[in-house]
Amino acid sequence: MRRLYHNTLLLALLGTMLLLPCPGHGQYYFGRNKVQYDHFRWHVLQTEHFDIYFYPEMRKLAEIGATYAEETYRVLEDRFSHNIARRIPLIFYASHAHFQQTNTTPYLVPEGVGGFFEFLKGRVVVPANGSISEFKHVIRHELVHVFTYSKLNSVFKQRGRITTPDLPLWFVEGLAEYWSSGWDSQAEMFIRDGVLNGYIVPVSQMYQIYGSFLMYKEGQAIIKYIDETFGEEKILRLIENSWKEERFADVMRITLGVNLEEFDKQWLYALKKRTYPLLERRDSPEMASSVVTREGIDTKPVFYRRADGGYVVFVSNRMGYSNIYLQKLSASKESAKAEVLIKGERTSEFESFHVLQSKIDVTPSGMLAFVSRSGASDVLNVFDIEHRTMVKQVRFDSLVSLYSPSWSPDGRRLVLTGLNFGGQSDLYVVDLERETAEQLTDDLFDDRDPAWSPDGTVIAFSSDRTPYGAEGYYNLYMVDPHTGAVEPATCSPHNDLSPAWSSDGRYLAFTSDRDGAYNIWMVRNTAQGAFASMPGAGDSASSKRYPAATDEMDELRQLTFFTTGAFDPAWTDSDQLLFAAFENFSFRLRLLEDVVKTFAGSAIVSADTLPCQQQAWVTREVQGDVFSKAVKYRPKFDLDVAQSAVTQDPIYGTSGGAQLAITDMLGNAQYYFLIYNNARTRDEFLESFNFAVTRLDLSHRTNFAVGLYHFAGRYYSLYDFFFWERRAGGFAAVSYPFSVFKRFEASLNVRYSDKDWYVFNRRRQAVLVSNIVSFVKDNSLWGPSGPVDGERYNITLGNTLDVHHSHVNFITLIVDYRHYFRLSRSVTHAVRLMTMVNEGKEATPFFMGGSWDLRGYPLWRIWGTKLALVSNELRLPFIDRFFVKFPIGGLALNAIRGAIFLDLGNGWDDQFEELLGSFGFGVRWRIGGVLVLRLDGGRKFTVPKPSRFHHLKDIDVDKRWFTQFFFGWDF
Amino acid sequence: MSTSAGSRNSSLAGTFRLLRAGLLAFGLLAVFGCARLTVPQLTGDDAAHLWPQFGGNPRRSHLVSTTLRPPLELAWQRRTSASVGKTLISDGGALLCPLRDGHLLVVDAASGKKIAQKKFRPGYEITCALHGPLLLVVRRYGEPSLSVHDLRDGRILWSAAAGSIETEPLVAEGRLIVAAEEKKVIAYELASGKVLWSVSTEGNLRSTPAFADGKVVFGSDDGRVYAVDVRNGQVLWQFRTSAAILAPAAIGQGTVCVGSTDRSFYALSLDSGMVRWVFPTGGRIHQAAAVADSLVLFGSNDHFLYCVSLHNGRQHWRFQAKSIISTAPLVAGKVVYVGSLDKHVYALELETGQELWKHDTGGLVSTVPLVAHDRLIMTAEGNRILAFRVKGER
């Protein structure tokens, strides 16, 4: 079990449970921005099988990654009995903050994504984030994907098949996880929880949880079962046999010798048989601790005493966005109402709290310390709980990411984990007054979760610097804040995480997977105020200062015996421990009473006796000075997408064309080509050659686009009717993101326009210059069919002018504001206020009508050079889950949403005449994450005198009901 | 090229081979639906150039006496509709290429010209063997998985449903023996198709059986090596390794040679199944061995081709490719040919392992090289068959 991995996957869980990625970003009307905060000096190193892309600051990590990639290649080559016939591009980032700036994918990269393999260029993109073992794990995980994909292709290519079908996602991800990390405490936790709470889905019904985090974990468990029951060779055999049958269920049948129904039966039975006996000596957290919180994913608790009682401060995403909450510890079984202290993920100040990675801390006087992502790097925040004011915000130039601040007893300093630009994770002591960070440790080991002892003499932390760290295990260490001397406290091939001192400093609680699941363990020092150092450290007994589980004077005992997991213990001042318990596929806060008494009654567990004083593990590096051969990255372009089409239209005749996209390996420079011909006669062939070339530069914070185009042909619009137009020109555009949420855009478009309204026998020529500027904000949070929280707006100003003939001259104003009021976890009131104005000579009209704006009216049949629209929509759940089972598989209809709507608006040129509107109810069904089907029904109405809108009797309601079916996201 | 015969004899042999190739072609045309022809016995006395089944003979020794001394040059190449499976078959003149899309392509080994082609429906991967005038076709999937065709008149003599067969057929003692994936080895009377015996194993079968001294030897996914009596299928002995055995067995001088996915190569007594020696490697072993006199050669997924003493397992030499050794080695006189997933076919000195020649095929190599009609025949990813001749010779 690797801790960072734990966090990464849990973040993924968090993402899949509550959030959906915002589909848009900078280049669209709305959308968040992928900000290029840093300029990376990319270099390329060629190893035997890989082209390694890295920047000099992370050279050490790149060496480790390159060496491990080659080692992994040999392992997977043997396992798959396969060789990859091409060089594999492996792109490294030193931190997740850097990774989120990658242009190798057009999508925003959420915190939960640990790396990816993309098919277009066969790129593997992997960030480090402090933990070398996690870095290695992700490299191997992604390389398993590379081998799986290549092996599968080879199987089909050898048989002369042109297309290669996809393997089921549960198999692909389960295999990647199982062959990269095997089986660990985290996987065990999820599967135990699933079995005990009855939500494990059999393979035959995997469609119900397609793409979810649970599906990934189940996939891992299924591959493990195949390995242990049918033999490891059968795993590869499933890929090799995939050509024999079209359905993977049949491939399983011929490979494993059992049909899917029987397989499911056997697998589920094996899980139960293995899990149920655990209840004999373990309990679910719910049955063995007191409830503190009941909703959302609640983590990182810390106790705070106020005059009216004890409180818990914690991080939660219970309403979608992550916030920091304050909640009174209630003696009753009902948990008290939680108050939001800090709203997160809405502003550039608090883009993220690193929910499952970073702890928070509070002084007795109510100073809350927490870190947040803010722009290019993290910020340390100190917030006065009593006065609800931000006291201090500190950013450190050399540190990209910060985690888990812990107060010194005097409240003047903090210790935290910092990740530098090169990806090295160390402990730092922050002097708040001077706003400086002094480095306490300095090596490639991952130092996490520091906790300052109550007497201020020592800092406990978790680190992978034991000899077991090479395998990804974390143990507890002590560091002297004055000298930086580091001593081991525990040493075992397990994970000891999140140490927490009791107020008297005699006890150190932590979470550990020593018994196969994450439980709370505790060390007691029998010598008051003076803990012992590790035996064999060479220290005399008199110099013993730190707790050590191995010391005969100290005691290591298991405090909880949960079936699933307990994390982040935090002491109250009343012999209690707060902690986050994993249960029923979520994290809730719980309270453990009478801790010392429980400790006294618990059996002493054998002490660690392993030689942690021996030299810590050393990472292997590339043999020889191959890095001196690394060369500066020079963009080389190759084809990403090429497609062509020929269309036949009864009015416009035949047209054909093609489009190409060419990008470089890092995706920083992108070229798009479009070419088509829509000539109706041979004579028109040359003049109907249409093309567009666009170059997009995403390498800097300011994104640039330039392009040239020529479009000519016959067109039709409801406004202009039939016309012919030639437009030839060029454009340049810039986009500057202020933050993830806000950006400024500007564009200049110069073109020659020759327009012939041949039906009306009118023609004009013009040289048009358009200048447009926009300001865009989007911090919306998305649900299954559209935004459910936050706000977004687009304010656009522009003018279009004929600089040659003055035939055209108009200004443009667009204001589109949308706000989403979260009424409850699943109900949102969405409001849209929009107006669009083109005013002047030959002003272009806007169009409206249909499912996307003014519902009930024909699609785009309302137009005018001016538009106004007000939409109100109550978004609520309709059908959460609905399964349809067919003889050959099934279909899961998840999260079908309902909407009650009221729309008002119209389009006009000179005189606003009447207000059109509609109201009704609709349902939305998202298919596969990309398409939302929409069905609306209701009544239309007209307000002939808009000024009398509030008089119901002046509203003409159409007596007929309308129904309208279309596709698209909610506004 | 160096052979034991003089140039005149070579010329005669060549004529004879062409004649046989022609006869084979007629027979195959008959099989493939043309008018029936009566074809005399195809396989003559020129045993050195016969390669009627995987490994060249029932012992799977992968041994030919002809030496093609490198350097070699490309004689011809041709594209196929799919890649060739694990083996090529030759009677010395014609080359039978069972393809992974169900086609059987027959080409002239000397020129590469197509002689015939037939698709065995429904188009699943096939493999085959020759026994005199009989063509034995095995389908990897779909039924009937086994059919025997008489090349003299084109008749299907018999067919059988044995389930998926991932191994190569064994012809020995008038029997056709197949190891079916579904844990069963079945012996058929070659002439009639009558099932003589069958024996079950605990694991699936993907290890091609070998035969010598009345014993059929094969490995299984259950990690065991089995020896059964060819007469009645009685299990004579078993030997257990610690992982599945996917590699075909080979037999030489009373010793069974077989690699395991437990990364070790085993030499067992053919009589008793007792271990003679074990040779550990750094990778899984998926490929068959070649046995040449007192030497055994085998490749491993650790990139090495090992040459060890058949008697004591002591390493003579080893050769490292850039990727997995992906074919059984072919010992052709004093030269060893072997293919690798690094896209190369290598020619090595049998005595020393010294690299004599290599050729970049441009794709992964997974079919055992073959010598036919003084050509070194190999296949490569991208559905290509390549034939090489000694440089300067025609």
- Per-residue pLDDT of A445-493, as tens digits, reads 999 999 999 999 999 999 998 888 888 999 999 999 999 999 888 888 9
Residue A252 in tokens: 């399983």
* pLDDT tens-digit map of B286-298: 999 999 989 999 9
- Interface contact flag, B100 A83, Cβ < 8 Å: no
Residue A860 has pLDDT above 70, yes or no: yes
Tell me what the pLDDT averaged over chain B comes to.
88
Residue A528 has pLDDT above 60, yes or no: no
- Per CB-CB distance under 8 Å, the chain A contacts of B366 are 158
pLDDT band at A624 (very low <50, low <70, confident <90, very high): low
Q: Is B221 on the interface with A (CB under 8 A)?
A: yes
Are B150 and B137 a contacting pair, CB within 8 Å?
no
- Interface contact flag, A85 B283, Cβ < 8 Å: no
Residue A359 in tokens: 């702890």
Of A334-338, B332-336, B368-372, the one with minimum mean pLDDT is A334-338
Average of per-residue pLDDT across B368-373: 90
- Interface contact flag, A77 B100, Cβ < 8 Å: no
pLDDT band at B19 (very low <50, low <70, confident <90, very high): low
- Interface contact flag, B243 A159, Cβ < 8 Å: no
pLDDT band at B24 (very low <50, low <70, confident <90, very high): low
* pLDDT tens-digit map of B220-257: 999 999 999 999 999 999 999 999 999 999 999 999 99
Interface subset of B 179-208, CB within 8 angstroms of A: 182, 203-204
- Per CB-CB distance under 8 Å, the chain B contacts of A157 are 83, 381
Look at residue A528 and give its three-state secondary structure.
coil
Q: Is B323 on the interface with A (CB under 8 A)?
A: yes
The per-residue pLDDT for A886 is 72
- Please, what is the Cα angle at A398 between A396 and A401, to 5 degrees? 70
Q: Report DSSP state, residue A64.
A: H
The per-residue pLDDT for A611 is 56
- For residues B5 and A80, the model is more confident at A80
DSSP alpha helix (H) spans, A159-259:
169-181, 185-196, 213-230, 233-240, 248-256
Q: Which helix (H) or strand (E) holds A577?
A: strand A577-583
Are B306 and B287 a contacting pair, CB within 8 Å?
no
pLDDT band at B122 (very low <50, low <70, confident <90, very high): confident
Q: Which residue of B has its CA nearest to A243?
A: B124
Facing A83 at nearest CB: one of B141, B246, B324 = B324
Query: Which of A47, A157, A158, A245 is the best substitution to test chain B (most B C-beta atoms within 10 A)?
Result: A158
- Per CB-CB distance under 8 Å, the chain B contacts of A82 are 324, 341, 364
- Interface contact flag, A233 B246, Cβ < 8 Å: yes
| Conformational region of residue B207, where left means phi above 0, alpha means psi within -120 to 50, and beta covers everything else | beta
- Inter-axis angle of helices A132-158 and A59-80, to 10 degrees? 40
Residue B175 has pLDDT above 80, yes or no: yes
Query: Which of B264, B323, B342, B365 is the best substitution to test chain A (most A C-beta atoms within 10 A)?
Result: B323
- Interface contact flag, A154 B364, Cβ < 8 Å: yes
Average of per-residue pLDDT across A8-25: 37
The per-residue pLDDT for A543 is 40
- Interface contact flag, A78 B324, Cβ < 8 Å: yes
Facing B101 at nearest CB: one of A77, A154, A159 = A159
Residue A744 has pLDDT above 90, yes or no: yes
Of A177-191, A635-649, A758-772, A874-888, the one with minimum mean pLDDT is A874-888
pLDDT band at A615 (very low <50, low <70, confident <90, very high): low
Facing A83 at nearest CB: one of B182, B283, B341 = B341
Query: Which of A76, A83, A234, A252 is the best substitution to test chain B (most B C-beta atoms within 10 A)?
Result: A83
- Per CB-CB distance under 8 Å, the chain B contacts of A77 are 301, 323-324, 341
Q: Give the separation between CA B46 and CA A362, rounded to whole angstroms.
A: 92
Residue B14 has pLDDT above 60, yes or no: no
- For residues A930 and A564, the model is more confident at A564
* pLDDT tens-digit map of A566-584: 999 999 999 999 999 999 9
The per-residue pLDDT for B47 is 56
Q: Which residue of A has its CA nearest to B342?
A: A83
**% of chain A residues with pLDDT over 90:** 73
- Number of CB pairs, chain A paired with chain B, less than 8 A apart: 70
Residue A509 has pLDDT above 50, yes or no: yes
Q: Give the separation between CA A364 and CA A192, rounded to whole angstroms.
A: 38
Cα separation values, A66 from A51, A93, A100, A622, A623, Å? 9, 13, 21, 7, 10
Residue A546 has pLDDT above 70, yes or no: no
Residue A540 has pLDDT above 70, yes or no: no
Interface subset of B 13-32, CB within 8 angstroms of A: none
What is the least distance, in Å, from the CA of A227 to any CA of chain B?
Answer: 12
Instruction: Write down the residue that tokens 């008697």 correspond to.
Output: B311
Query: Which of B124, B182, B324, B326 is the best substitution to test chain A (most A C-beta atoms within 10 A)?
Result: B324
| Beta-ladder partners of A796 | A774, A814
* pLDDT tens-digit map of A685-710: 888 889 999 999 999 999 999 999 99
* pLDDT tens-digit map of A276-319: 999 998 999 989 999 999 888 999 999 999 999 999 999 999 88
Nearest alpha-carbon partner for A302 in A262, A242, A361, A220: A361
Q: Give the separation between CA A165 and CA A888, rounded to whole angstroms.
A: 17
The per-residue pLDDT for B83 is 92
Q: Is B344 on the interface with A (CB under 8 A)?
A: no
pLDDT band at A949 (very low <50, low <70, confident <90, very high): confident
- Interface contact flag, B341 A231, Cβ < 8 Å: no
* pLDDT tens-digit map of A387-413: 999 999 999 999 999 999 999 999 999
- Interface contact flag, A83 B99, Cβ < 8 Å: no
pLDDT band at A603 (very low <50, low <70, confident <90, very high): confident
Are A723 and A714 a contacting pair, CB within 8 Å?
yes
Average of per-residue pLDDT across A846-872: 94
pLDDT band at A679 (very low <50, low <70, confident <90, very high): confident
- Interface contact flag, B381 A158, Cβ < 8 Å: yes
Of A14-18, A441-445, A479-483, B311-315, the one with minimum mean pLDDT is A14-18
Q: Is B101 on the interface with A (CB under 8 A)?
A: yes
- Per CB-CB distance under 8 Å, the chain B contacts of A161 are 101
Average of per-residue pLDDT across B204-208: 96
Look at residue A869 and give its three-state secondary structure.
strand
- Interface contact flag, B81 A160, Cβ < 8 Å: yes
pLDDT band at A19 (very low <50, low <70, confident <90, very high): very low
Residue A265 has pLDDT above 90, yes or no: yes
Residue A931 has pLDDT above 50, yes or no: yes
Tell me what the pLDDT averaged over chain A comes to.
89
Query: Which of B100, B206, B260, B322 is the best substitution to test chain A (most A C-beta atoms within 10 A)?
Result: B100
- Interface contact flag, B323 A257, Cβ < 8 Å: no
Nearest alpha-carbon partner for A439 in A447, A430, A449: A430
The per-residue pLDDT for A664 is 96
- For B48, phi then psi, to 5°, come to -60, -25
The per-residue pLDDT for A538 is 34
Query: Which of B284, B301, B340 is the best substitution to test chain A (most A C-beta atoms within 10 A)?
Result: B301
pLDDT band at A921 (very low <50, low <70, confident <90, very high): very high
The per-residue pLDDT for A888 is 63
Q: Give the separation between CA A398 and CA A439, rounded to whole angstroms.
A: 11
Facing B283 at nearest CB: one of A78, A83, A243 = A78
Average of per-residue pLDDT across A533-545: 37
Residue B188 has pLDDT above 60, yes or no: yes
Q: Give the separation between CA A452 and CA A529, rounded to whole angstroms.
A: 14
Separate counts of helices (H) and strands (E) for chain A: 12, 49
pLDDT band at B57 (very low <50, low <70, confident <90, very high): very high
Instruction: Write down the residue that tokens 């037999």 correspond to.
Output: B251
- For residues A679 and B262, the model is more confident at B262
Q: Is B293 on the interface with A (CB under 8 A)?
A: no
The per-residue pLDDT for A95 is 96
- Interface contact flag, A159 B125, Cβ < 8 Å: yes
Residue A610 has pLDDT above 90, yes or no: no
What is the least distance, in Å, from the CA of B223 to any CA of chain A?
Answer: 10
- Inter-axis angle of helices A169-181 and A132-158, to 10 degrees? 130
- Per CB-CB distance under 8 Å, the chain A contacts of B240 are none
CB-based burial, B96-135: b 16+ in 10 Å, e otherwise: bbbbbbbbbbbbbbbbbeebbbbebeebbbbbbbbbbbbb
- For residues A494 and A885, the model is more confident at A494
Interface predicted TM-score of the whole assembly (ipTM), two decimals: 0.86
Residue A730 has pLDDT above 50, yes or no: yes
The per-residue pLDDT for A645 is 81
The per-residue pLDDT for B71 is 92
CB count within 10 Å of CB A800 equals: 22
Cα dihedral: B94, B98, B102, B103 (round 10): -20
